Structure 1
Amino acid sequence: LQGNHYFWWVSQTTTRLSTVTRQAILRGELGNQCSNYLAKTNGLT
């Protein structure tokens, strides 16, 4: 029972981490696109 609980915890944590990582990557991509857009509209590029 202890081993099963451990594996369940690991899978839950791994899923949560991958979701957070994916969200962070998407947020970073959006941030890059926004800053690129602002740079273009401000004539910095």
Structure 2
Amino acid sequence: MSEHERPEHQPKGTFVLIMVFFAVFVLFYYLNWKALLATWPVS
């Protein structure tokens, strides 16, 4: 069994992928709110 097939190393790539997806989602959410507030002023 090579080092890349060991079970303790498998979840790390998935975790990094999830964190990248989450960061992109948060950035997209923030930019959408910023654009919404710029085009549709409240009050």
> TM-score if structure 2 supplies the norm length?
0.75
Pick aligned residue for 1:18 from 16, 19, 22: 16
Give the length in aligned residue pairs: 40
- For structure 2, list consecutive stretches of 5 or more residues without a partner in the other structure: none
Q: Which amino acid aligns with 2:35?
A: Y
Hey, what's the Cα distance between the residues in 2 that align with 1:28 and 1:19? 14
Please name the residue that 1:27 is paired with: 25
Larger relative helix fraction: 1
Moved over 3 A (4+): none
User: TM-score, normalized by length of structure 1?
Assistant: 0.72
Q: Secondary structure at the match of 2:41?
A: coil
